[in-house]
Amino acid sequence: MDVIAVERAVFPTEAWSSEMLREELTGPYRFYVGVFDPDDTLVGYGGAMRMGDAVEIMTVGVEAHARGLGLGEALTRTLIESARESDCPEIFLEVRESSNLAQALYRKLGFVEIDRRPRYYHNPTEDAIIMRLETDCAS
């Protein structure tokens, strides 16, 4: 299982470093899930972090050759379900302004745009769209 290879394949211009990934995967209040091909090779993963009463989805990515199979949706649904099981009333994420497919998936799952971070991403520079999902655990 090579998370670093998947990270670099999915996010070639903004991949997290090995050290950042290690800290992210082993840090407190985090949960990660992966998807594998029939040969048990990791082809995608997603992760989230609990922050007080909210969860932030930190990353979701699937290698290009495995896209279009519903794996990104399955990863995201699993992260949402994990947040619900921990009685989390809100889930946040940020997504590139140009990531239309990802935005469409998140809207399909109930996320709504709540804000933007101008010029947040680089290579190329563009805004981050901040999205929120209120879960059925909302108090």
CATH of domain 3-134: 3.40.630.30
pTM of this prediction?
0.91
pLDDT in tens, the chain (139 residues): 589 899 999 988 888 888 998 898 899 999 999 999 999 999 999 999 999 999 999 999 999 999 999 999 999 999 999 999 988 899 999 999 999 999 999 999 999 999 999 999 988 999 999 999 999 765 5
All structural domains of the chain with their residue ranges: 3-134
Cβ-contact 82, 111 below 8 angstroms: no
